[in-house]
Amino acid sequence: MDSFDLIVVGSGPGGYVAAERAGALGKKVLLIEKEHFGGVCTNRGCIPTKSLLNSAKLYAHAQDGKQFGVQAEGVSFSLADAMAWKQETINTLRGGIEFLMKSNKVQVVFGEAQFLDAHHVQVANTTYEGSYLIIATGSSPFVPPIPGSKQSHVLTSDGILEIKDIPSSLVVIGGGVIGIEFASFFSMIGTKVTVLEMMSEILPMMDGEFAKLMRRELKGVDFHLGCKVEEITSDSVLYTDAKGEKKSIGASLVLMSVGRKPNTQGLEKLGLDIDRRGVVVNERMQTNLATVYAIGDVNGRSLLAHSASRMAEVAISNIFGSKAMRMRYQAIPWAVYGNPESAGCGITEAEAAKLGIPIKSQTVQMRSNGRFLAEHGKKGAGLVKVICHAHTGAIVGVHLLGPYSSEMIWGASALIEAQLRVQDVKEIVFPHPSVSELIKDACFQLDHTL
């Protein structure tokens, strides 16, 4: 029987990073993947959606260039070409992961893993032995038992990435990140889009003021909040609205994006503690079995690709490394890549109130910023909010809505991780002109002493 220092099951941003890091430390590693390198992120999540959103943004810009001096006639969008580019991106990234595995001497087996016990995993007819086991099996779209949800025009985020034609109308059930990104994409390419959300606001991790502005800025999208979907027919979605009235919206396509469930099936023989969110882990990503770790969506602690990668590093640190790393959740950024973009890191005011943390906060309009004005004009909308601890001034939250948000936010993670205070950020020199300057502006408005 082939024996390894580590067996990793699943090659998403949790699993492949774990395998890579362990391989880089000279460990003998087996990576088991049932389908394609990269998991949901590369094949059916982060990457394809960002590729399509980039295409749609270019399409929007090409139509919208006149005021900037760019005239274009006969602007049209080819879904087939956009899908082909998306697929090429996916293929390149799969190849990149394959290369990483080779260069870190990770052995790879394709096939469905059968978990036999804490040290044995079977694929097809072969059993592999591992001193340590990392479960990185991810999550799948959750499809609630709504009548009509099994029809062929009702898709999850998996299926909608494979469609051939631009739908005339789309109803998105669920206004989380996945729902909003697809709503933004399809509205940009000409589909009539409606989002039905059960809660009183979209994007639950987002500051309420920002979520409201996001809805307003997604100009082609109709939102119905606080409503319950009752049934999906061949051409409509029937729901009860916030006032309790029965309503109906025509839909040639329906996206079901109400949430994801951890892929815990097949783990039964291991005797793992599993709760509502997924496999229970401690801050080292260790399960109740000392040599079994669970990272990424399958533990349900933070359903983000970069959280999975970080969990991979924490797990490898604790298995083979310094054993000093712990998973911290207070400075994990998130981003929504629609048009406009949004990103955040740390807590919102609502969360601070719930946690009883005394805070001060300051919001600034992006239209007070030189670069934003140069690129979007004074009618453009965008917000930056900085939240600090009321007593210490330590930065505890940064929230962005507008261009470049997803590429600016990493600095906020650095501020929070380094426990910098408002006064410290005021001493950092931001490049001019850049949208990022607004973070400093907000800090000066929080405290104008020098």
DSSP-derived pairing of the beta strands 236-240 and 246-250: antiparallel
Identify the CA nearest to 342 among candidates 389, 398, 420: 398
391 a catalytic residue: no
Q: How far does the chain reach from its first CA to its final CA, in angstroms? A: 68
Question: How many residues of this chain interact with a second copy, rule: CB under 8 A?
Answer: 101
- Residue of the chain from 34, 94, 96, 190 that contacts a second copy (CB under 8 A): 96
- Residue of the chain from 138, 173, 320, 389 that contacts a second copy (CB under 8 A): 320
SS3 state of residue 25:
coil
Which residues 6+ apart lie within 8 Å of 367 measured at CB?
Answer: 373, 376, 377, 378, 379, 380, 381, 382
Candidate segments 2-10, 199-207, 302-310, 348-356, binder of a second copy by CB under 8 A? 302-310
325 is a contact residue toward a second copy (CB under 8 A): yes
Which residues 6+ apart lie within 8 Å of 95 measured at CB?
Answer: none
List the interface residues with a second copy, window 135-194 (CB under 8 A).
none
**Pattern 29-68, a second copy, x by CB under 8 A:** ------------xx---xx--xx--xx--xx-xx--xxxx
178 in a labelled binding site: yes
197 in a labelled binding site: yes
131 is a contact residue toward a second copy (CB under 8 A): no
28 is a contact residue toward a second copy (CB under 8 A): no
368 is a contact residue toward a second copy (CB under 8 A): yes
Which residues 6+ apart lie within 8 Å of 189 measured at CB?
Answer: 56, 59, 77, 79, 166
Q: What are phi and psi of 241, to 5 degrees?
A: -85, 180
Measured distance CA(236)–CA(408) in Å, rounded = 40
129 in a labelled binding site: no
370 is a contact residue toward a second copy (CB under 8 A): yes
Q: Any bridge partners for residue 130, and if so which? A: 4
8 A C-beta contact, residue 386 and residue 422: yes
Is 114 or 365 the residue whose CB approaches a second copy more closely? 365
Candidate segments 120-128, 235-243, 275-283, 326-334, binder of a second copy by CB under 8 A? 326-334
- Residue of the chain from 27, 44, 310, 399 that contacts a second copy (CB under 8 A): 310
CB of residue 178 to a second copy, shortest distance in Å: 15
Sign of the Cα pseudo-torsion (56, 57, 58, 61, in order): positive
Which residues 6+ apart lie within 8 Å of 321 measured at CB?
Answer: 25
Which residues 6+ apart lie within 8 Å of 413 measured at CB?
Answer: 331, 332, 333, 345
CB of residue 127 to a second copy, shortest distance in Å: 29
297 in a labelled binding site: yes
CB of residue 112 to a second copy, shortest distance in Å: 26
175 in a labelled binding site: yes
362 is a contact residue toward a second copy (CB under 8 A): no
Q: What is the DSSP letter of 430?
A: P
Among the listed residues 61, 119, 391, 432, the single catalytic one is 432
208 in a labelled binding site: no
Rounded alpha-carbon distances, angstroms, from residue 306 to 17, 42, 309, 321, 437: 10, 12, 5, 20, 25
**Pattern 62-91, a second copy, x by CB under 8 A:** x--xxxxxxxxxxxxxxxxxxx-xx-xx--
Copy the structure tokens of residue 150: 């099994």
316 is a contact residue toward a second copy (CB under 8 A): yes
309 is a contact residue toward a second copy (CB under 8 A): yes
317 is a contact residue toward a second copy (CB under 8 A): yes
377 in a labelled binding site: no
259 is a contact residue toward a second copy (CB under 8 A): no
Q: What are phi and psi of 417, to 5 degrees?
A: -60, -40
CB of residue 88 to a second copy, shortest distance in Å: 7
Identify the CA nearest to 89 among candidates 40, 137, 138, 42: 42
Which residues 6+ apart lie within 8 Å of 4 measured at CB?
Answer: 28, 29, 30, 107, 128, 129, 130, 131
List the interface residues with a second copy, window 394-433 (CB under 8 A).
404, 406-411, 413-415, 417-418, 420, 424-433
Is 217 or 313 the residue whose CB approaches a second copy more closely? 313
Known binding-site positions: 50, 137-139, 174-181, 197, 259, 297
Please list the active-site residues. Answer: 432
Known binding-site positions for FAD: 50, 137-139, 297
Known binding-site positions for NAD(+): 174-181, 197, 259
